[in-house]
Amino acid sequence: MYRLREEKVFKDPVHQSIYVQEATIWKLINTAEFQRLRRIRQLGTSYLTFHGAEHSRFSHSLGVYDITRRIISQFERNGYQDWPQEEKMVSLCASLLHDVGHGPFSHAIEQVFDTDHEEWSCAIILGDTEINQVLKEVSEDFPQQVAAVICKNYDKPIVVSLVSSQMDADRMDYLLRDAYFTGVNYGTFDLDRILRVLRPYRGRIVVKESGMHAVEDYLMSRYQMYWQIYFHPVTRSSDIVLRQIFMRARELYREGYAFKFLLPPLAQLLNGTIGLRDYLALDEAMVQTAFGQWSDEEDDILADLCKRFLNRRLYKYVPLEGYHETLEAKLRQAWEEIGLHPDYHLQMDTPTNLPYDVYKPGSPDPEPKEKTPVLVLDDKDRLTEISLKSDIVRSIAGLHTGKYYIYYPEDLVLPHIDRLKPEIRELLGL
Amino acid sequence: MYRLREEKVFKDPVHQSIYVQEATIWKLINTAEFQRLRRIRQLGTSYLTFHGAEHSRFSHSLGVYDITRRIISQFERNGYQDWPQEEKMVSLCASLLHDVGHGPFSHAIEQVFDTDHEEWSCAIILGDTEINQVLKEVSEDFPQQVAAVICKNYDKPIVVSLVSSQMDADRMDYLLRDAYFTGVNYGTFDLDRILRVLRPYRGRIVVKESGMHAVEDYLMSRYQMYWQIYFHPVTRSSDIVLRQIFMRARELYREGYAFKFLLPPLAQLLNGTIGLRDYLALDEAMVQTAFGQWSDEEDDILADLCKRFLNRRLYKYVPLEGYHETLEAKLRQAWEEIGLHPDYHLQMDTPTNLPYDVYKPGSPDPEPKEKTPVLVLDDKDRLTEISLKSDIVRSIAGLHTGKYYIYYPEDLVLPHIDRLKPEIRELLGL
Amino acid sequence: MYRLREEKVFKDPVHQSIYVQEATIWKLINTAEFQRLRRIRQLGTSYLTFHGAEHSRFSHSLGVYDITRRIISQFERNGYQDWPQEEKMVSLCASLLHDVGHGPFSHAIEQVFDTDHEEWSCAIILGDTEINQVLKEVSEDFPQQVAAVICKNYDKPIVVSLVSSQMDADRMDYLLRDAYFTGVNYGTFDLDRILRVLRPYRGRIVVKESGMHAVEDYLMSRYQMYWQIYFHPVTRSSDIVLRQIFMRARELYREGYAFKFLLPPLAQLLNGTIGLRDYLALDEAMVQTAFGQWSDEEDDILADLCKRFLNRRLYKYVPLEGYHETLEAKLRQAWEEIGLHPDYHLQMDTPTNLPYDVYKPGSPDPEPKEKTPVLVLDDKDRLTEISLKSDIVRSIAGLHTGKYYIYYPEDLVLPHIDRLKPEIRELLGL
Amino acid sequence: MYRLREEKVFKDPVHQSIYVQEATIWKLINTAEFQRLRRIRQLGTSYLTFHGAEHSRFSHSLGVYDITRRIISQFERNGYQDWPQEEKMVSLCASLLHDVGHGPFSHAIEQVFDTDHEEWSCAIILGDTEINQVLKEVSEDFPQQVAAVICKNYDKPIVVSLVSSQMDADRMDYLLRDAYFTGVNYGTFDLDRILRVLRPYRGRIVVKESGMHAVEDYLMSRYQMYWQIYFHPVTRSSDIVLRQIFMRARELYREGYAFKFLLPPLAQLLNGTIGLRDYLALDEAMVQTAFGQWSDEEDDILADLCKRFLNRRLYKYVPLEGYHETLEAKLRQAWEEIGLHPDYHLQMDTPTNLPYDVYKPGSPDPEPKEKTPVLVLDDKDRLTEISLKSDIVRSIAGLHTGKYYIYYPEDLVLPHIDRLKPEIRELLGL
């Protein structure tokens, strides 16, 4: 019924070939909403640190779909009883669409405007969209099912665990893909091996004990990718400049500032009233075009921030031994004395700001506790949380606590350097 | 004098690490005009065929610089007398900047608006730009020297040959890079080996005979990349849609159509009066933003074309046995009969339209003759054009002549299929 | 019946993982005769030219099995009617065992002693061996079937074509494997793509037209591997030294020379009476051990040749413009004048000696005509021999004719250089 | 003086190209003693577990030389004062020759016969060998200098640290090479990056702080390679069979057993009197040939062990929860009861037998203390042992303690299974 007459093949640099056999998947890929992901980078502003990281959420989404397809195919080939075969289609669709709600430079926009890409994904799946149309062809309630998987309240937890858990297809694809495009080799692990040792087991995806070392290697890769790539201080700097652009623009908008250039989706974003249709019109092209136009705005702070972002004149970063409120207060005061803006020209970055997603097994604290731990299945059918078996996993869990940094525009401070106290200059590394 | 205190390193997926040792190079990379290359894709619309091909001209330009640096370093290490050591700086700058004049979707824009990216490169180097400022710090006439290399009228032909010839750093980088990002392995050849066998010799860069097989492999890669990637019929289709958007917009502009959205650089582009400052403001973000806005224009043809491009609803292609004017005339007439536009809804693609750049050795014709043939230096210091020595090179030179294709919007034709003559339907594969 | 309870996995550097699901395959791998392939190098003496080429026929045989398995699995997955499903087992066994008859440094031994590894393969399969035992467990005549496939007289030509033809699993594995271990990148082609475009069609394996470029790339790789690796003049030199050792030993043996060291299998080899059991005891360890012992034999020529081989003091090679009998006669005479042996200290290598295996399509000559041409299947179900469609294939077919070389021990000639005529010295490059 | 007219290039799969510029290095490579390394596998019996691991110590030695050359070249390029430039030649020679004393299946032979490959390396360098001749051409005491570096008593500790320390060229090459040939990707780390962050500093090689993460990754690779490859239980099994062959042969030799086949070097090895000339004649070809011949010896135990080794019928392994002497005593008794040999048919493998070489920083115990810790140099010129800075290094140091295993020939036990107590059967997993 949904089978394509001839399978479609995408040439993919990470997985070599991505196969599409179902008509529904093929149609979903060809919707306007899915094609829009081509205009949204997978790694946000990371391309300003690693110039190869220009890949889009489009290719990542295809990759997640492909890994999910391979996992299910392995389950089917081995005839595992614990895998509910009728869940294949909803799993494939959810894996393909899980990121469809991402906006331009998602993390920054989510932080400033308090939006949530998963909610948008569900809104797109359930709203008046081409995607919704395609899913409805499967069955009337199929869109709801797919959305439920993405929002993690689907009634078959094994499907949710395939799409979002510590060993999900999403993480496996992004580690390999981001490593490939940045050009580092931290992110490489043995995907084939991992796919081979996954098992459906009583409503979860677990790992055969013989594959434990491959999982260690995967978790280690993830650890390294976080600290080497995702939290790279230069990328934090470009994220900060980006957030400050949005904060300044919103502030000006609220003050009634007359922007020379402001397309409706952006106005609504600043306004906090953006709807589905306009959200879908937002992409990184529009944001960058706005930044280009805002580089000529009369508001100096906004114009300066936009030029910094486009021309990569980012904020300098200086590591701190630790953070004290008094220290920040002193800096803000010094900034005011030399005529800089203490909000827009200064940013303290603390480790708690990091979107930390490293595996945290069996933590005693209630909060950061892992909801989807990696479970190891031994040959006597016993399940054990991996950190109880693996010294390495235990040792990397939660060990890195991140550093404190000050970010500021060095070029704006330098002319006033004589007016800064020695204590402040030392702090700034000047 | 121009040496950085500490060398800078870019992590590059193709060359692993790209080193910058000269302050001038570092400053050039940080100019607004060079950073702009991050917003211009290396392969134009190819990402619509190969989803990995989202890399920018920024990373390619760094790669060309790096290969040039390695070639010169090899020449210096071996102490070759025929290499004029004082030309290092101008060679490095020209290699870094050779593509700086590219606009968004260059090939399409060049075809429609008859611009030339090399001229723009020189205009940027010689005009009122940050790049010009940095180059002038070297010497007052240094911008002219760099521009002369790019425009191929520099008085040391060996420098020109390093930056543009059949074995130049430009081609070597793009083959490897485009292969890496599309994920095919046609483009891989042994760069290390080739760099090792290049020699400066009497005002040219030549190849030691022992490296001939590596050169064969490189030319073969190029041949395959042209036919598998650069001339892929789907990419031709997206290029055609793109060109038609620009042609339609220009036509409407000339007719005085009131665009709802038109930023000054685009207006001037349509107008044919674009100047340096506005050209630099043009990037793919602005073009895509315009296409997004134009998707709601009242002109149906323009709106339809823009939606096609953004949502990847490209024109179907059908190969032809050959091309005849009468055949095109018949199709145009059929188009008019069913209410389609014979210019915008139909395109014949002939091999002579292809930007064919495959090595054409020793052709008897005066015109397509290779200006910068690959010369092989044997151990008795004799130079021979490579195709005289290599059966492979001879055999691939000029052998592929391309195919004829019809491109058209299948979805617009299908509703009228009953009104088409059988002969036309067969031609269209319907 | 033959299914393993749990599939076995071999970690393979070329194919990542090699899966074994059938008990028969697993048992065959564990026979003494198959394990013996670990002691026979895949590329004979090539490791003396490319030090990485130390891989054995054992790993190649596993690779051929794996590619065959993947081809059949693709045929089954697509439900092609033209593939006889009951032939899977015989195909897998024949692909695994096709090289089991290779002896140490096969090509040299076959040339000197006029043996044939395919005949030995069949003898091993049909004789009193562990392999024969395992195959008989399938059915009484199963060994005959497997042997028939290897000897190319099996009554289902499609099975023979899977195991030996221009696009067989054997060639695909060895190109990729030999490229991997030598470290060159000539041999890389897109195996996944090729496996995807193969089709069983009326008793043959053919190629879908859409995969023609992948096949071109594969044939081009093969062409480059032949000329860069397999026919490398240094490898020819080590092969020559090796052959001369065997020829000298045989001559001495026939003369009744009393070898200090001579194990029975070697004696029988020299004797021309070697039987199955002794042939299986012959491996490269035994040959190298003999050479080590023979380095101390009293016969100077034999001792010198053995030391040359073990210590890699090979013969020098000098390319010739062409070959004339008079030229060889003059050299032989010169050799005798300076006290060198005209047989053992001189070798003319002519292109017709090369085990040339490059694709030779549609040759007009009856002899070198391709028995198993690559056939391309278009979308109208027409078959065309590939060289009629592909300019590249046509151009590389038979184009390289090889060079003539003189091989000789330079160190033995140098002391007598004054006694050589200028004409001879020029010829020898001295 | 020692410069080659034209540099020599080895094609290497791991390092792409290995360059030789010095005549001395070139001559050393061409000595009989160095060429002998081609007949000794880098990973001993590991090829019986990972079939790709057939590479020799020859290629590893070239790789170590090349990494050393690149480190020194980086030091020279950056003009570091702390690098004594006159030590280049001795460093290169020592790095090339550091493994020249390895015998066939070194680790097993060293354990059984209590020899030491470093001592043999020095004996070869100082004895009557071609290597000694070549080194003496540099200066009369140059062989002593090279030997001193290898035996770690050279008076410039920085040279020793280049050739043997926690970050030496030896380890870097073998991790990358062994990962390449086995086909796993645990062993990959960013060599370029590591080479770039090494600094000579006050008589040591230290690491710039900015490279700390690359070092973490390298140590992590090493950790994984040890547990996944070097200590793989199947490889332990083949090592055990090998050792038992040698032990049985020695026992028989001492008892005056009349071997049908015994070449002098082997006799002297069993005898404990082997000298330099015979040691150099020992290679894996000779050992395997002996095993082949001994497969027909009258001593059943020796013949059985040899057949097991050649045909890969290894001992089964069963993990134990822990080791107790009483447990071993019980097993030995059970063995005797069923007529098996408690020494040759049983082996307990305890973690303390492992040649453990994982980085052990700042251990409080005096003994396993790291003699050559990795020191990190920060931008204030302070040195810190890496585990004090890196959570990861601290966490992997000494954490894995290995497992206890029983090894035994399952096929010899199975016929007597009814006579074994249930307790013993459970222990054996039968």
C5-26: average pLDDT: 91
Pair of tokens at residue A413: 């401070």
Q: Are strands D204-208 and D375-377 parallel, antiparallel or unpaired?
A: parallel
> Which of B16, B192, B196 shows the shortest C-beta gap to D192?
B16
C-alpha–C-alpha distance, residues C325 and C328, integer Å: 5
Q: Does A189 touch chain D (CB under 8 A)?
A: yes
Contact yes or no for A228 and D213 at CB 8 A? yes
C-alpha–C-alpha distance, residues B217 and B396, integer Å: 11
pLDDT tens-digit readout, A370-425:
567 889 999 889 999 988 888 778 777 655 567 889 999 999 999 999 999 999 99
pLDDT tens-digit readout, C51-79:
999 999 999 999 999 999 999 999 998 88
C-alpha closest to that of C167 among C372, C326, C352: C372
Pair of tokens at residue A26: 């093929």
Pair of tokens at residue A244: 């400050």
pLDDT tens-digit readout, B43-88:
999 999 999 999 999 999 999 999 999 999 999 988 899 999 999 9
The residue among B185, B222, B358, B401 with the most chain C CBs within 10 A of its CB, best to mutate, is: B185
C-alpha–C-alpha distance, residues D378 and A274, integer Å: 49
- C1, burial (CB in 10 Å: exposed 0-12, middle 13-18, buried 19+): exposed
C-alpha closest to that of A21 among A33, A10, A35: A10
Domains and CATH numbers, chain B: 3-230 (1.10.3210.10), 233-313 (1.20.1250.30)
B364-372: average pLDDT: 51
If residue D21 lies in a helix (H) or strand (E), which one and from where to where? strand D16-22
Q: Does A186 touch chain B (CB under 8 A)?
A: no
Partners of C16 on chain A (C-beta within 8 Å) are 192
HSE-up (13 A, CA, CB side) for residue A188? 17
Contact yes or no for C286 and D263 at CB 8 A? no
C-alpha–C-alpha distance, residues C430 and C418, integer Å: 11
C-alpha–C-alpha distance, residues C142 and C90, integer Å: 8
Least confident residue range of A306-310, B108-112, C370-374, D356-360 = D356-360
Q: Does A50 touch chain B (CB under 8 A)?
A: yes
Q: Are strands A404-408 and A347-349 parallel, antiparallel or unpaired?
A: antiparallel
Partners of A192 on chain C (C-beta within 8 Å) are 16-17
Q: Does C220 touch chain B (CB under 8 A)?
A: yes
HSE-up (13 A, CA, CB side) for residue B254? 9
The pLDDT of residue B365: 43
Does the pLDDT of residue C400 top 70, yes or no? no
Bridge partners of A318, per DSSP, are A406
Contact yes or no for D16 and B196 at CB 8 A? no
Residues C41 and C57 sit within 8 Å (Cβ to Cβ): yes
- A366, burial (CB in 10 Å: exposed 0-12, middle 13-18, buried 19+): exposed
HSE-up (13 A, CA, CB side) for residue B263? 24
> CA-based angle D248:D253:D254, to the nearest 5?
100
C-alpha–C-alpha distance, residues B195 and B176, integer Å: 14
Q: Does D220 touch chain A (CB under 8 A)?
A: yes
Residue reference for tokens 């950073």: B35
CA distances from C16 to C62, C66, C387 (A): 12, 11, 33
| DSSP secondary structure of A287-314 | HHHHHHHHTT-S-HHHHHHHHHHHHT--
Model ipTM value: 0.93
Residues C389 and C308 sit within 8 Å (Cβ to Cβ): no
For helices C300-311 and C233-254, the axis angle rounded to 10 degrees is 150
C-alpha–C-alpha distance, residues B327 and B427, integer Å: 9
pLDDT tens-digit readout, A234-269:
999 999 999 999 999 999 999 999 999 999 999 999
- A16, burial (CB in 10 Å: exposed 0-12, middle 13-18, buried 19+): middle
| DSSP secondary structure of A175-226 | HHHHHHHHT-STT---HHHHHHHEEEETTEEEEEGGGHHHHHHHHHHHHHHI
Pair of tokens at residue A397: 């869990």
The pLDDT of residue C392: 77
The b/e string for A292-323 (b: 16+ C-beta within 10 A; e otherwise) is bbbbebebebbbbbbbbbbbbbbbbbbebeeb
Does the pLDDT of residue A170 top 90, yes or no? yes
Residues B184 and B228 sit within 8 Å (Cβ to Cβ): yes
Residues D374 and D167 sit within 8 Å (Cβ to Cβ): yes
Q: In what order do the strands lie in the sheet with C198-201?
A: C198-201, C204-208, C375-377, C383-385
The pLDDT of residue C1: 46
Pair of tokens at residue B187: 């483009």
Sign for the CA dihedral angle at D274, D278, D283, D284 comes to negative
Three-class DSSP category at D152: coil
The pLDDT of residue B401: 65
Residues 6+ apart with CB under 8 A from D328: D348
Tell me if the pTM is above 0.80: yes
> Which of C12, C35, C47 shows the shortest C-beta gap to D310?
C35
For chain C, what's the residue count?
430
Q: Does D217 touch chain A (CB under 8 A)?
A: yes
The pLDDT of residue D430: 83
C-alpha–C-alpha distance, residues D264 and C117, integer Å: 34
CA distances from A329 to A34, A347, A348, A424, B172 (A): 46, 12, 11, 11, 54
- Phi then psi for residue D6, to 5 deg, are -130, 135
pLDDT tens-digit readout, A94-146:
999 999 999 999 888 999 999 999 999 999 999 999 999 999 999 999 999 99
Q: Does B220 touch chain C (CB under 8 A)?
A: yes
C-alpha–C-alpha distance, residues A50 and A233, integer Å: 12
C-alpha closest to that of D100 among D56, D166, D66: D56
Please provide the average confidence, as pLDDT, over all residues in chain C: 91
C-alpha–C-alpha distance, residues A234 and A315, integer Å: 8
Closest residue, chain D, to C229 (C-alpha): D11
For residue B314, the tally of other CB atoms under 10 A from its CB is: 24
pLDDT tens-digit readout, A272-296:
999 999 999 999 999 999 999 999 9
Cα end-to-end distance, chain A, whole Å: 68
Using 50, 70 and 90 to split pLDDT, how confident is the model at C358? Answer: low
Q: Does A216 touch chain D (CB under 8 A)?
A: yes
B197-225: average pLDDT: 89
Pair of tokens at residue C101: 């008859």
C-alpha closest to that of A103 among A191, A36, A8: A36
State which of A210-219, B202-211, D37-46 shows the largest mean pLDDT. Answer: D37-46
* pLDDT values of chain D reduced to their tens digit, one per residue, 430 residues: 467 877 899 999 999 999 999 999 999 999 999 999 999 999 999 999 999 999 999 999 999 999 999 999 999 988 899 999 999 999 999 999 999 999 999 988 999 999 999 999 999 999 999 999 999 999 999 999 999 999 999 999 999 999 888 889 999 999 999 999 999 877 678 898 899 899 999 999 999 998 888 888 888 888 888 888 998 999 999 999 999 999 999 999 999 999 999 999 999 999 999 999 999 999 999 999 999 999 999 999 999 999 999 999 999 999 887 777 888 999 999 999 999 999 999 999 876 666 656 676 654 444 444 567 889 999 889 999 988 888 778 777 655 567 889 999 999 999 999 999 999 998 898 8
- C167, burial (CB in 10 Å: exposed 0-12, middle 13-18, buried 19+): buried
C-alpha–C-alpha distance, residues D228 and D236, integer Å: 12
The pLDDT of residue C356: 55
pLDDT tens-digit readout, D33-56:
999 999 999 999 999 999 999 999
Partners of B192 on chain D (C-beta within 8 Å) are 16-17
The residue among B394, B395, B396 with the most chain C CBs within 10 A of its CB, best to mutate, is: B395
- Phi then psi for residue D369, to 5 deg, are -60, 140
Q: Does D34 touch chain A (CB under 8 A)?
A: no
C-alpha closest to that of A43 among A223, A175, A167: A175
Bridge partners of C198, per DSSP, are C207
Contacting subunits of D (3+ beta carbon pairs below 8 A): A, B, C
> Which of B9, B17, B192 shows the shortest C-beta gap to D16?
B192
Q: What is the amino acid identity at position B142?
A: F
Sign for the CA dihedral angle at A150, A155, A158, A159 comes to negative
Residue reference for tokens 């055949």: B327
Does the pLDDT of residue C192 top 90, yes or no? no
Residue reference for tokens 């999910």: A68
| DSSP secondary structure of C318-359 | EEES---HHHHHHHHHHHHHTT--TTTS-EEE-GGGS-----
The pLDDT of residue B356: 54
Contact yes or no for B9 and D196 at CB 8 A? yes
Closest residue, chain A, to D402 (C-alpha): A391
